[in-house]
Structure 1
């Protein structure tokens, strides 16, 4: 009975399911972080405006540059030396990433807990917590995203991996709904207990799943890799993309990337945020634009329609973000083929994308609070009660500034409309889809035949 149950669980917990579940252990913490960290420091720890802006500015720099830094540290062995790169096989790359996840995942969960207890001056704690949290989040996200490109090359297998990743990310959003039952600015004890429970679950999940994948990969993939290596020794001649040139430096890599037009157009589109994925993303942008225009015409008085608009905009944005990982994986393939690399520098390319797109994520709350203050006069750092109601406009006010409710409405509507227009303009210039994408995948699969083990083999 016990043996049959074990084999049953092994069948249910496929590699794609295990890979996707890693997104759950990140999202249950990150969704709570995004919702409460500003409110905690502003309303509970009483951080002042100068410290908040200084912390966010330093965080902007760190948030942008730690992705390519960690990506380079992770993948430099694949680029710096042809000799070392030729001896690093695809299974070894996967095992290296899984080992990193088993270490950085629990550390990420522990850094999440540092927000919810006051242990230093608010300004100092705000800066240290943000940088520490984002550092471990970057390590987890880089290695998890890079696995999407390292585990599989075919569009079908990558779509399967990404599907479970999206599914578990959606499940992770339930932590936000649960948090409403514990959040209380007057009594923070139960919310802290809730966060400790989430962190403990995340730590155990990262440890169990990453170790399970490591054992499965060693048991089922490495013997096949040894067989492929033996066959390679019998072959005569060099591989098509064997590179005997001098080592690639970071400057040379950046120069190569600057000539990668699809990469540049992709990050241009993603800053403001196959044939199949290409068209789906395009239609998601069009839907976001259409909904924004409909909401603008309807006006701010339709509360239920506004709620549907906010929810749908969030769903479309999250859906687009998940699909963009597939596109970045395709960019990894193109970079591998065009620059004739020994190994695909997956984490480094994901890091370079983040370098050029993360400033948008950091600037968003800063610009949003500034625009709201300029347009309506409302300051989130104001300790006095807000006279202007969010639910009803104050028509008796003679100040000449629009009510807070109307200011929030225009920000909610015009930001998605503007972003959708700019994203569509950039996305229309992206050419890595259709026949070109299929040609790139054929070249990479042919080059790494016998070395690249697809996810279906696990």
Structure 2
């Protein structure tokens, strides 16, 4: 009876649905964290300014370092050639990642709860909570992202997995809307209860789904005569050619430095991370100074809601385009759309309010949509690294970690460059709230004959010229990326056929 029930639920929930549902358990917590953790420590716990900046600085360093660190700890056993015994199989790699998710997922949810109850001095709690939460988040995100490259090799299968992730991430975004009903700085009880409910749901979800995935994969990974079914869930075992010596950190970094497509992708992705966080940081500023006098508060909240939900829903359409035209071309089109919309907005000016509303919302939607496609590209880079360096196993988590290490500085550059540009053009300092004498625009009459306020015009410049600059730089870097078309198909064929013999020379592709 028990086995029949288990088989029934396995029939209802496919591997793609189970994999995608893990995004739900992450997003319902992380969206609430992003929206409320600063306000909680500043307004509720009354943290002082020095402790806040010290905590953010330490968090910035830890946030950048932990991704490659955890990636190396996870994948170092796959880089070294075994001295004796059998090699690690691809099925064992997947099961290892699922075991890590079943452990770190619930711990991630529990670390989320540590923010909403005062248990130490505000400065100490802020530092410990941030580092603890981000550590478990990085572990969960790394293994979840690495599974995208380990569960499937073909572009169609990976797109299908990413499709399910987008659906469940969109569902997880609704936790933000529900949170407004419980958030009250004066009475924190209901909000704490809401967070406990979310965390409990996430713990239960991680435990059940990871167990179902492991059980499903163990059954499907058993030797079968049906090769088609086998390829659907397995990436194949490693090539028979063994590395001459274990791969050290130094050797791995040297190999990565010679990975041309990796370097161009990181260059493009650094700008993308910068632009995503620039939109997040300055979205309220744009609403306040460009639209607040012309739209109602409800319209502003709708724009904010669209900016959270629409990227996930829009990504479902982008993924169908990826299946038809390839990820490379879809991302290039999105860069061109971003550039085109920004140029149109420059020509239209800041006085077309409805066009401005559409542009502010669409700019964030398209930018976030691009970010959600990049995991597919990183998975392709995992395949190329596997083939070019003749790995025993693909080091998926480590490569995702290295990408995070090299692109996360964009999170810091975004507010720094944005506030500097705003101060240069308008004299407006968001910290001091006093104009700077030598700013390029200090008097309204100099700026516009119609008396356009310099701050509003400066915000408009930021809104339109930052996307233009980002799009031009990204198109230049993306044009140098060659892992698409026939070359990408050749790489995937080599990885899938690695179990049948020695790898063919990559230069022959």
Same fold (TM over 0.5): yes
Change (3 A) 1:7 1:76: closer
8 Å CA contact retained: 1:79, 1:85: no
State the shift of 1:172 in Å. Answer: 1.3
State the shift of 1:365 in Å. Answer: 4.0
2:499 maps to which of 438, 442, 448: 448
State the shift of 1:12 in Å. Answer: 2.6
Change (3 A) 1:381 1:132: farther
User: Deviation per CA, 1:268-314, whole angstroms, max 9, x where unpaired?
Assistant: 10011286110101111122222233334444444544443333223
Please list, as runs of the form range in 1=range in 2, the aligned pairs for 1:5-404 lying within 5 A after superposition. 8-83=8-83, 87-224=87-224, 241-273=240-272, 276-368=326-418, 375=426, 377-379=428-430
User: Deviation per CA, 1:308-336, whole angstroms, max 9, x where unpaired?
Assistant: 33332232223212211111111001001
8 Å CA contact retained: 1:20, 1:166: yes
For residues 272 and 84 of structure 1, what CA distance do their matches in structure 2 show? 45
The alignment yields a C-alpha RMSD, in angstroms, of 3.1
8 Å CA contact retained: 1:101, 1:206: yes
User: Deviation per CA, 1:182-229, whole angstroms, max 9, x where unpaired?
Assistant: 22333333222222221111111111100100111122313449x9xx
Change (3 A) 1:181 1:140: same
Unmatched tracts of structure 2, length 5 or more: 228-236, 273-321, 434-442, 446-450, 502-509
8 Å CA contact retained: 1:241, 1:341: no
- 1:433 is aligned to 484
SS across alignment from 2:470: helix
SS across alignment from 2:118: coil
State the shift of 1:407 in Å. Answer: 4.7
State the shift of 1:438 in Å. Answer: 0.8
Unmatched tracts of structure 1, length 5 or more: 228-237, 383-393, 451-458
8 Å CA contact retained: 1:91, 1:222: no
- What is the TM-score normalised by the length of structure 1? 0.84
8 Å CA contact retained: 1:65, 1:355: yes
State the shift of 1:122 in Å. Answer: 2.9
User: Deviation per CA, 1:27-85, whole angstroms, max 9, x where unpaired?
Assistant: 11111222222233333333333333322222221111111100000000011234479
Q: How many residues align?
A: 426
Relative contact order, CA 8 A, sep 6+: which one is greater?
1
User: Deviation per CA, 1:218-250, whole angstroms, max 9, x where unpaired?
Assistant: 22313449x9xxxxxxxxxx9854115011111
Please list, as runs of the form range in 1=range in 2, the aligned pairs for 1:400-439 lying within 5 A after superposition. 405-439=456-490
State the shift of 1:89 in Å. Answer: 0.5
For residues 290 and 203 of structure 1, what CA distance do their matches in structure 2 show? 44
SS across alignment from 1:272: helix
8 Å CA contact retained: 1:182, 1:190: yes
